[in-house]
Amino acid sequence: MAPVTSDHQEVQENVKNVIHDLFQVMAQVSNYDSAGRSSREALANDLQTLDASLAAVYRSATSLYDSGPGIPEPLIQYVENGRNPDIYTREFVELVRRLNQLARGKMHAFRSFRDVLAHEMDAALPELRDDVRRVVESTGGPGPTPQALLMTEGGGGQEQQQQQQQQQR
């Protein structure tokens, strides 16, 4: 169980005050004398005290809610529906893992594309070689990887296959 902070104690004290004030109002209502003026004033004073106590609970509870780490609303609903919060945590971790794997795959695909594109641009536009390398380095790459070179040089593109067939004839 989490340790009780001074904020929690303040809210707890304010709730106790509300309960006490409600008890006072209940006592005034049960002993109310419509003919007597003192009963009316006492009940009005107790209602004002109750109103002030409720306002104090609201202020302290909202400040506590804003300052805390917060519990995700779906988790609260999950527990209210009678389900185990450990299952929610496990499902959340699995979802995050899947999304991370997807993002990692996309990053690898873009890195490979960057390297292949850089190699192709080097081959097709040698006058832009310095610019291409600068762009590749600024995007976190060392330049075309050996895999990218193999894919483009010996990767079996249609043009390369046609050239190889013509050379064999």
In a domain, 168, yes or no: no
Based on the structure, what is the number of domains in the chain? 2
Which pLDDT score, from 0 to 100, does residue 142 have? 80
pTM metric for this prediction: 0.44
CB-based contact 121:132 (threshold 8 Å): yes
Tokens of 62: 């909202």
Using DSSP, state whether 22 is helix, strand or coil: helix
Instruction: Give me the mean pLDDT over the 50-58 stretch.
Output: 94
Of 38-42, 88-92, 158-162, the one with minimum mean pLDDT is 158-162
Residues 54 and 84 grouped into a single domain: no
112 and 95 in a common domain = yes
**H or E, element range at 28:** helix 6-30
Kindly indicate the confidence band of residue 143, based on its pLDDT and cuts at 50, 70 and 90. low
Asked if residue 147 is part of any domain, the answer here is yes
The residue among 40 and 64 whose pLDDT is bigger is 40
Higher per-residue pLDDT: 164 or 19: 19
Work out the pLDDT band at 39, boundaries 50, 70, 90: confident
By the 8 A CB rule, do 163 and 128 touch? Answer: no
Asked if residue 165 belongs to a domain, the reply is no
Host domain of residue 120? 79-154
Binning pLDDT at 50, 70 and 90, where does residue 145 land?
Answer: low
Cβ atoms of residues 151 and 117 within 8 Å: no
Q: Residues 13, 62: one domain?
A: yes
Mean pLDDT for 46-69 is: 84
Overall size of the chain counted in residues: 169
Average pLDDT rounded to a whole number, residues 47-63? 90
Q: What is the pLDDT of residue 167?
A: 56
Enter the tokens of residue 77.
Answer: 């609903």
What is the mean predicted confidence (pLDDT) over 32-51? 85
DSSP 169: -
- Residue 45: pLDDT band (50, 70, 90) is very high
